[in-house]
Amino acid sequence: MTEAASQVRLLETFATLADTLVDNYDVVDLLQTLVDACSDVLGVTAAGILLADDRGILEVVASTSEASRLVEVMQLGAESGPCIECYRSGLAISVESIADVPSDWYAFRKSALANGFAATDAIPLRLRDTTIGALNLLRSEPGPAEPTDLTAAKAFADVATIGILHERSVRESEILTEQLQSALNSRVVIEQAKGVVSYTNDVPIDEAFRLIRGYARAHRLPLSDVAARLVRRELRIPDEHNPLL
């Protein structure tokens, strides 16, 4: 592929990744598009992505081949290897010769060599101080990666990181909105319950709320649940000395 053709493919890849980042996009689809792009556009034999869950445990979420997935899984099992080190440090790790890696990366070395890989680069999925995973690039020939390929791969990783963090932010925002709306809805019901108790017991609103809250605490029930039952007339306070019926 000529340099001009390579540049066109690179731009097309970024356009594809940008198109993927639409409303309700699938993160796994985004990551699979990314690793496929690394394999198609960059000078790598295979690529994969390891992503940390909310407990900080890495998992393989996208891979261009079963061989590369196996190599990544071996790193996870042994808790050692370039991707593990990349995630922990937040720094890119380049291995020009997998045959010469340290002995504590034995499981990774054995698996990589057995699957025909001779060199690798691990690039962090990182935004400022937050590292959420690693992009693993595997090559069948030893030696350093092309600087332009590494630059493009880092850009791919940055796009993926922003996409993932955006999706998490939206999801957390939606949860917060749901919690807020639930609280607002509960407050409406509580106000209605106060009116019910105030009327049926002929007490001021403040006293009605004290009765409702006292019952909820005494019976270890959510205040909103007690209020809802009062509004539905499933509970009643005939006077302060009798339990709700």
- Residue 204's H or E segment, with its range, is none
Q: Bigger pLDDT: 161 or 141?
A: 141
- How many structural domains is the chain composed of? 2
Band of residue 91 on the pLDDT scale cut at 50, 70, 90: very high
118 and 166 housed in the same domain? yes
**Overall average pLDDT of the 201-218 stretch:** 84
d(C-alpha 13, C-alpha 59), whole Å: 25
Q: What angle do CA 157, 49, 101 make, to 5 degrees?
A: 100
Element spanning 90, H or E: none
Decide if pLDDT at 39 tops 90. no
Residue 115 shares a structural domain with residue 133: yes
pLDDT averaged over every residue in the chain: 80
CATH of the domain at 112: 3.30.450.40
What would the pLDDT profile of 7-28 be if each residue is shown by its tens digit?
767 777 777 666 656 555 567 7
Is residue 237 one of the residues assigned to a domain?
Answer: no
Element (H, E) at 145: none
Of 23, 53, 17, give the one whose Cα is nearest residue 35.
17
Query: What pLDDT is stored for residue 40 in this prediction?
Result: 80
Same domain membership, residue 17 and residue 111: yes
The verdict on 125 and 211 lying in the same domain is no
Shared domain for 208 and 167, answered yes or no, is: no
Whether 200 and 141 share a structural domain: no
More confident of the two residues 46 and 1:
46
Name the DSSP class of 144: P
Any domain includes 243: no
Burial of 226 (0-12, 13-18, 19+ CB in 10 A): buried
Helices (H), the chain: 3-20, 27-41, 66-78, 82-89, 106-114, 147-201, 205-218, 223-231
Asked if residue 202 is part of any domain, the answer here is yes
Residues 167 and 209 in one domain: no
Whether 148 and 192 share a structural domain: no
> What pLDDT score was predicted for residue 118?
93
Q: Please give the Cα distance from 20 to 97 (Å, whole number).
A: 35
Checking 22-29 for CB contacts under 8 A at 24+ apart, the result is: 25/163, 25/167, 27/163, 27/164, 27/167, 28/61, 28/62
| End-to-end CA gap in the chain | 81
State which of 151, 173, 195 marks the end of a domain: 173
Question: Both 79 and 132 in a single domain?
Answer: yes
**Residue-range definition of the domain harbouring residue 36:** 3-173
Q: Are 43 and 142 in contact (CB under 8 A)?
A: no
114 and 145 both lie in a single domain = yes
Question: Could you report the per-residue pLDDT of 49-77, keeping only the tens digit for each?
Answer: 888 877 778 888 888 877 777 777 777 87
Q: How far apart are CA 135 and CA 92, in angstroms?
A: 9
CA–CA gap between residue 160 and residue 170 (Å, rounded): 15
